[in-house]
Chains A and B, each alone.
Chain A
Amino acid sequence: MFVNRILCILLLIFNMFGCAPREETGKVTLTLWHWMTDREQAFSELAKRYEEKTGVKVNFELFAPSDAYTQKVRAAAQGTNLPDIFGILGEKRDFGSFIKAGHILDLTPYMEEGEGTWKNKFFAKALAVNEFSPENSYGVKPGIYGAPIDIMTIQMLYNKNLLKQLGLDPRKPPLTFQELLDIGKKVKEAKIQGLVSGWGELWMIDCLANNYAFNIMGKDKVLATIRGEVAYTDPDWIKVLTLFKQMQDSGILATGVVTMVNKTAEQLFANDKAVFAFNGSWCVNVYRGMNPNLDYAVMLPPQASDEHLMSIWGGAGSSFMVNARSKNKEEAVKFLEWLTDRDQQAYLAEATQNLPANKDCLGKISEVLAHFASGMDIATHPSVWGVSEFPVVIETWNKGIQAIIIKDKSPEQVAAETQKVKERELAKRKK
Chain B
Amino acid sequence: MKTDIKSTLENYIFVLPAVVIFSVFYIIPFIAVFMLGFYEWDGILALKDAMFIGLANFKEIFFQDPSWWQAMWNATYITLIALTLQNIVAFLLAWACDREIRCKNFYRVVFFIPPVLSEMVVGMAWRFIINDVDGANLVNRMLISIGLPQLVHSWLSDPKTALTTVAVVHCWKGFGWGFLIFLAGLQTIPRELYEAARVDGANAWHSFKNITIPMMLPVIVLVAILTVLGTMQAFVLIIGLVGGELAGHTSVPVLRILASMRGSSRFGYACAQGISFGMVLVIISFIQYRFSKHTRQA
Contacts and interface: CB of A to CB of B under 8 A. Distances in A.
Answer yes or no: A and B touching, Cβ < 8 Å.
yes
Contact of A399 (B132, B154, B159, B247): B247
Contacts of A74: 43-44
Interface stretch (B19-27, B138-146, B257-265): B257-265
Interface stretch (B194-202, B218-226, B237-245, B286-294): B237-245
A101 B246 contact: no
Given A78-B47, A399-B247, A402-B247, A200 B242 contact: yes
Nearest to B159: A406
Most B CB within 10 A of own CB, among A91, A258, A259, A391: A259
B46 interface: yes
A430 to B, nearest CB: 14
Contacts of B158: 406
Interface in A396-422: 399-400, 402-403, 406, 408
Given A256-B131, A256-B154, A264 B264 contact: no
Contact of B265 (A91, A100, A101, A273): A91
Interface string A73-105: 010011000000000001101100110111000
Contact of B242 (A67, A259, A400, A408): A259
21 contacts: A70-B262, A77-B44, A78-B46, A90-B265, A93-B42, A97-B42, A100-B45, A202-B263, A255-B132, A255-B133, A255-B157, A256-B157, A258-B157, A259-B157, A259-B162, A259-B243, A267-B134, A395-B263, A406-B157, A406-B246, A424-B64
A290 to B, nearest CB: 13
B156 interface: yes
Contacts, number: 100
A408 B247 contact: yes
A243 interface: no
Contacts of A166: none
Given A202-B244, A258-B243, A408-B247, A67 B262 contact: yes
Given A254-B133, A264-B243, A402-B247, A97 B262 contact: no
A406 B156 CA distance: 12
B44 A273 contact: no
A91 B259 CA distance: 13
B104 to A, nearest CB: 30
A294 interface: no
Contact of A260 (B42, B162, B243): B243
A260 B243 CA distance: 5
A395 B259 contact: yes
Given A74-B44, A97-B42, A260 B246 contact: no
A90 B131 CA distance: 32
A268 interface: yes
A193 interface: yes
Name the residue among A70, A91, A256, A408 with the largest chain B CB count within 10 angstroms: A256
Contact of B264 (A254, A267, A391): A391
A399 B239 CA distance: 15
Contacts of B249: 406, 408
B248 A93 contact: no
Interface in A101-157: 101-102
A259 B247 contact: no
Contacts of A391: 263-266
Main secondary structure of the interface of A (DSSP, over half): helix
A261 interface: yes
A378 interface: no
Given A256-B154, A391-B263, A261 B243 contact: yes
A255 B154 contact: yes
Given A94-B42, A259-B162, A391-B266, 20 more contacts: A78-B46, A91-B265, A93-B265, A94-B44, A201-B243, A202-B263, A255-B133, A258-B157, A258-B243, A259-B241, A259-B243, A259-B244, A261-B239, A264-B134, A273-B134, A399-B245, A399-B248, A403-B248, A406-B246, A408-B247
Closest 9 CB pairs of A and B: A200-B243, A391-B264, A256-B157, A402-B247, A97-B44, A200-B244, A403-B247, A259-B242, A261-B243
Contacts of B247: 258, 399-400, 402-403, 406, 408
A193 B242 CA distance: 18
Contacts of A100: 45
A101 B157 CA distance: 43
B243 A98 contact: no
Interface residues of B, number: 35
Contacts of B265: 90-91, 93-94, 97, 391
Contacts of A13: none
A392 interface: yes
Contacts of A91: 265
B48 to A, nearest CB: 10
Nearest to A390: B264
Interface string B24-54: 0000000000000000001111110100000
B246 A198 contact: no
Contacts of A400: 247
Nearest to A267: B134
A97 B45 contact: yes
Contacts of A93: 42, 265
A200 B47 CA distance: 33
Contacts of B45: 97, 100-101
A93 B42 CA distance: 10
Nearest to B49: A101
A260 B134 contact: yes
Task: Give the interface centre of A71, A90, A93, A391 by most chain B CB atoms within 10 Å.
Answer: A391
A392 B264 contact: yes
A190 to B, nearest CB: 14
Contacts of A90: 262, 265
A197 to B, nearest CB: 11
A258 B247 CA distance: 8
A427 B44 CA distance: 24
A17 B63 CA distance: 50
